[in-house]
Amino acid sequence: MIETALVLAAFMGVLLGMIGVGQMIFTRQTLAERAHDAARWGAMHPYDAGAVRNLVLYGTTAPATDARPLLGLASDAVEVGDPGCPGPDCRVSVAIPGQGVRSVEPVE
């Protein structure tokens, strides 16, 4: 019984650790995909920082009034910029610094 309890405790610790890491990777990948899609949309349409930010937060440029942001992100957690615009060096960048996510379109 004692051996089983020790092995079970170690196994549960490893299992819960794997679940936690999996959730963290899923969250980061979801945010990276949203940032990439928003930067791409911003590069293909006339620049509108609010619409690009809404794409990251809500998945649409015009969210419903009762829409909640993805993963509880705050609006100020998403940084949108257009360095070099207008001009040939125009880039739309979307970053979520708190999560270590950044995307630039067209690709640098």
d(CA 27, CA 32): 9
Query: pTM of this prediction?
Result: 0.81
Q: Please, which residues have CB within 8 angstroms of residue 108's CB and are 6 or more apart in sequence?
A: 91
Read off the tokens for 37: 């899609």
Strands (E), 1-108: 79-81, 92-96, 101-105
Residue with tokens 């949203």: 34
Q: Taking the CA atoms of 31, 100, 40 and 84 in sequence, report the sign of the dihedral they define.
A: positive
Amino acid at the residue 58: Y
Q: Which residues of the chain have pLDDT under 70?
A: 86, 107-108
Write the pLDDT tens digit of every residue in 56-76: 999 999 999 999 998 888 989
- Domain boundaries along the sequence of the chain: 2-105
Q: How many CB atoms lie within 10 A of CB 85?
A: 13
**Percent of the chain scoring above 90 in pLDDT:** 64
